[in-house]
Amino acid sequence: MAATPIDVVIMAAGKGTRMKSSLPKVLHRLGGKALLAHVIECAASVSARQAVVITGHGAAEVEAACGRFGQSAGAPVSLQFARQEPQLGTGHAVQQALPLLADDGVTLVLSGDVPLTEAATLQALIAQCDGQRLALLTLSMADPTGYGRIVRAGPEASAQVRAIVEHKDASAAQREIREIYSGIMAVPTRLLRAWLARLDNKNAQGEYYLTDIVKFAVADGVAVVAHQITDAAQVAGVNSPVQLAELERVHQGRLAVALMEQGVRLADPARLDVRGTLSCGRDVEIDVSCVFEGTVSLGDGVRIGANCVIANCSIAAGAVIHPFTHIDGEKLGVQVGEGALIGPFARLRPGAQLGAEVHIGNFVEVKNSTLAKGAKANHLAYLGDATVGERVNYGAGSITANYDGANKHRTVIEADVHIGSNCVLVAPVTIGAGGTVGGGSTITKSTPAGALSVARGKQVSLPNWKRPAKAPRQS
């Protein structure tokens, strides 16, 4: 028998007042990605047939953002939107999705501000629902203040679930209950539809509570099961910057453990931030306080020094990135070849493609340039829109003048060229293979292979030169 299709409803209409931000709450980032993008990935992880996002506050902004990260998310899921205006409670929120839900499915209810739920947890919840029961994800908390309590028929942990009672509606005795509703449930859609039609808002908050459907299930003789987990982070919501930062640390801690379990050696797992996807070969070492963004891959034996920021870059085996290096490949990417040495204090920008054993030293900037095997630029230099041959040595303080104010032009430096210090190579220009450019030259015309080219004022030395002297001070 084919599994029951899963339709995910993501509640994301709330205001998020406590974020004290003009950005809608669900668009705040965790691990470099919007909270809501994490939740959409949860939907993809259970192979949902669609996800319906309930929007309200900042609806247009949230919907537009979903369009953007929907394309970049790993497994795609078909997204739809339902607006909830005004916001009259969680039951009212799910009601807005009903026209988009088909009765043959199971509805999995998630919140746009709960980013760290694991696929295995949701799959277990869906299995408990089994296309026929109301399955609630629950958790026991030392301090359950504020949460909806799971009310059972008796004191034993396995006693039948009778209701969820919201904190504000709970009696003193009910407030003693430690087991809370996480905000996540799986429910057969045809039953959900019937139960939502029966909701009212006669409660302490004057809201339509989704949680009231539990008592309808009990009244109708439909089994209610609580799937209890112990890992609070999986159901923790973000309501404030403090909670966002706490969950960020949990998320980063999990990524760090996963990397170390693959064999990556982290100097300190508490001082690593991965805001995207980091893939590593064997024997990779990462020193403290490094940030990885976008898609980064590190080959076997790569070593990353302290305080590097590395984004959208692929680093081949054996390369060493010394401390304080900044690499950002953005759309074009950056490639670092095998055994290359980069930094300290180097800057690699989009389109830097460095071959094997290239050396890029301190305060050297490389943008949209290809450097072939063994080329070196060790100090204080700029290479932009350049093609650099094998074994080229590019002197300290030299630059490619690649921009004429309107257009960018290329500089070609052929194999085995030696560029002295403080040269300006005015593009478009080609330095012929094996040639030498004297220090301080401004090169505006291409040079022949093997030539020494010098383009600077000729040195003049006047003998016995007397510098002007200051008149002695009168006192």
Residues marked as catalytic: 379
Token pair for residue 474? 């009168």
340 near ligand UD1 (CB under 6 A):
no
Per-residue contact flags (x/-) with ligand UD1 for residues 122 to 151, judged by CB under 6 A = -------------------------xx---
Tokens of 382: 């700029």
Query: What is the C-alpha to C-alpha distance for residues 382 and 366, in angstroms, rounded to an integer?
Result: 6
Nearest approach in angstroms of CB 309 to ligand UD1 is 32
Q: Which is nearer to ligand UD1, 92 or 251 (CB)?
A: 92
Q: Which is nearer to ligand UD1, 59 or 311 (CB)?
A: 59
CB of 71 to ligand UD1, least distance (A): 24
What the block records as the tokens of 119 is 């696929």
Instruction: Give the residue with the Cβ less far from ligand UD1, 209 or 382.
Output: 209
Residue 24 found at the interface with ligand UD1 (CB under 6 A): no
* CB-side neighbour CA atoms (13 Å) of 240: 4
Residue 220 has a CB neighbour count (10 Å cut-off) of 13
**Could you tell me which stretch among 27-35, 40-48, 87-95, 341-349 binds ligand UD1 (CB under 6 A)?**
87-95
By CB under 6 A, which span of 10-18, 115-123, 213-221, 259-267 interacts with ligand UD1? 10-18
Instruction: Considering the complex, state which of residue 88 and residue 267 has its C-beta at the smaller distance from ligand UD1.
Output: 88
d(CA 387, CA 400): 11
CB of 270 to ligand UD1, least distance (A): 28
From residue 428, how far is each of 336, 389, 403, 451, 454 by CA, in Å?
25, 16, 9, 18, 18
Of 110-118, 170-178, 312-320, 324-332: span binding ligand UD1 (CB under 6 A): 110-118
Q: Of the listed pieces 66-74, 89-97, 312-320, 331-339, which binds ligand UD1 according to CB under 6 A? A: 89-97
Q: How many residues would you count in the chain?
A: 475
Contact residue for ligand UD1 among 4, 45, 50, 87 (CB under 6 A): 87
Within 13 Å of residue 454, how many CA atoms lie on the same side as its CB? 7
- CB-nearer residue toward ligand UD1: 183 or 343: 183
374 binds ligand UD1 (CB under 6 A): no
Q: Determine if 419 is a binding residue for ligand UD1 (CB under 6 A).
A: no
Could you say which residues in the range 39-68 bind ligand UD1, by CB under 6 A?
A: 54, 56
183 binds ligand UD1 per the rule CB under 6 A:
yes
Q: Does residue number 234 form part of the binding site for ligand UD1 (CB under 6 A)?
A: no
- Cα separation, 143 vs 446, whole angstroms: 75
Query: Which one of 62, 116, 125, 164 is in contact with ligand UD1 (CB under 6 A)?
Result: 164
Q: Which is nearer to ligand UD1, 95 or 252 (CB)?
A: 95
**209 belongs to the binding site for ligand UD1 (CB under 6 A):** yes
Residues in contact with ligand UD1, total (CB under 6 A)? 28
Residue 384 binds ligand UD1 (CB under 6 A) = no
Taking the C-alpha atoms of residue 214 and residue 461, their distance in angstroms, rounded to an integer, is 97
Give min distance, CB of 163 to ligand UD1, in A: 11
Hey, which residues does 347 pair with through a beta bridge? Answer: 326, 365
CB nearer to ligand UD1: pick between 84 and 453: 84
Contact positions toward ligand UD1, by CB under 6 A? Answer: 11-14, 54, 56, 84, 87-90, 92-93, 111-113, 147-148, 164, 166, 180-183, 209-211, 237
